[in-house]
Structure 1
Amino acid sequence: MNPLLRTDRLLLTPYAPADEEEFVALFQDVRVSRWMGDGPSTEAEDRALFGRIFTRVYAENRFEVWAVRADGELVGHAEIKPTEASGGHEIIYALAPSAWGRGLGTELALALVGHGFTTLGLTEVHATVAAENAASLAVLGRIGFEHVRDIQEDDGSTTRLLTCSRADAPAERSVQAQAQLR
């Protein structure tokens, strides 16, 4: 089961069935979903995805997935999981527009990287980000991720593969501090 993660302003918890409406609302917001996976999905697809978190991800202990809360409100989604694109563990996160511009993305990414380094014992953590997603690229650059290569997608778009190495991360002290907040 997923551990709880805490930062100064965020609490990452496993999803509960009661979170379905807020999860669907987050994933149905095109300002958020345009950057996730293959882009916006139907409401039915997002509900099915939410169900699979319980029936496959949690039930089979596949990887860690969290609801992200600030002041008790669900404001985001986070994961850390092995992926083929990176050949290692990738962080995935999304925040509701109401949470943008307050540094919560940086705080969330640091918590995920810290969890990867400390709890999972990883030496590298990866992220894949649409080349046009300047905000996420900036967040990851601030905490020590470096561009490794570009991936050309079937639809012609470009995804950037970024890596943060534990040994080289300028954010290592911040990562350790975030990990201690759990």
Structure 2
Amino acid sequence: MVPVIPIVTTSRLTLTPLSPHDIDKVFDIYRDPATWEHLPTGRHRRREESVALIAAGQRSWTESGAGPWAIRIGRTGSLGNLLPGMFIGTGGVTLTASGLWNLGYRLAPTSWGRGLATEMATAAIMSATTANSTAPVTARALSNNPASCAVAERVGLKLLWEGPTKDTVAAGVRRRIYADREPTAAQLEWLVARA
């Protein structure tokens, strides 16, 4: 039986669990090269990749009580070119195999620079804490993405580790791992192995 998951509203956003109804909008954002400026190899080239992303998100909600949301502009008003109800991306937390929450998001470039990632991330950390307060909350960002690093820091995560990444990136780009508290040695090893 699928649990009933409430809609979360923040001052400017409406957050609902990702569903198959969101597939076209998710794929539009995930295939846009601009959303993958810092990690071009992550871009979705096939719709099936976005279908799998949504399915994994639904499993997260069922298995752990938290997961990724569809992020929409709230019904209370527009933000310039962002109109009420407009889908602007995905974001939230998922519980990893190592017992850590992973905070992540992907927003349409038209929504960048307005503090919306921070607003969603704050709600996501609250969601993670409600679902399982014993699991540390972590976030991963690349050093060539200072905006994502700043979001992690603004929501209270501290830089835990910085080093080489397994992703295909430009020379000199490093992976940064943030956390709200010190993970176990095994959890840190798990994180670094997947940097």
TM-score (norm. length: structure 2):
0.71
Q: Which amino acid aligns with 1:97?
A: P
Gaps of at least 5 residues in structure 1 are 167-182
Correspondence 1:49 to 2:52? yes
Q: Please list the CA deviations of residues 20-43 of structure 1 after superposition, one character each: whole Å capped at 9, or x if unmatched.
A: 111100101122234579521213
1:51-66 mapped onto 2 (5 Å cutoff): 52-53=55-56, 57=59, 61=63, 64-66=67-69
Correspondence 1:65-76 to 2 at 5 A: 65-70=68-73, 71-76=84-89
Q: 2:43 aligns with which of 24, 40, 44?
A: 40
**What is the one-letter code of the residue matched to 2:96?**
T
Q: 1:44 to 1:143 in 2, by over 3 A?
A: closer
SS in 2 for 1:102: coil
Say whether the 8 Å CA contact 1:150–1:161 is kept in structure 2.
Answer: yes
Partners of 1:13 and 1:34 in 2: CA distance = 26
Which amino acid in 1 is paired with 2:19?
Answer: A
C-alpha RMSD of matched pairs (Å) = 2.9
Q: Is the 8 A contact 2:60 2:95 kept in 1?
A: no
For 1:12, what is the secondary structure of its paired residue? strand
Partner of 2:95: 82
Q: How far did residue 119 of structure 1 move?
A: 3.7
Answer yes or no: is the 8 Å Cα contact 2:101–2:138 preserved in 1. Answer: yes
Q: Please give the alpha-carbon distance, in whole angstroms, between the structure 1 residues aligned to 2:17 and 2:88.
A: 14
Query: CA distance change for structure 1 residues 140 and 82 in 2, over 3 Å: closer, same or farther?
Result: same
The 3 A distance-change label for structure 1 pair 72 and 108 is: same
Partner of 1:137: 149
Which structure has more relative contact order (CA 8 Å, sep 6+)? It is: 1
Aligned match of 2:130: 118
User: CA shift at 1:58, angstroms?
Assistant: 6.2
**Structure 1 pair 42/123, CA: closer, same or farther in 2 (3 Å)?**
closer
Aligned residues between the structures: 164
Distance 2:160 2:61 in 1: 33
Gaps of 5+ in 2: 74-83, 183-195
Distance 1:148 1:59 in 2: 27
TM-score (norm 1): 0.75
Is 1:100 equivalent to 2:112 in the alignment? yes
Could you tell me whether the CA contact under 8 Å between 2:15 and 2:69 is conserved in 1?
yes
> Quick one: distance in 1 between partners of 2:121 and 2:176?
16
User: Could you tell me which amino acid in structure 2 is paired with residue 18 of structure 1?
Assistant: H
SS state of the match for residue 61, structure 1? helix
How big is the shift at 1:45?
4.1
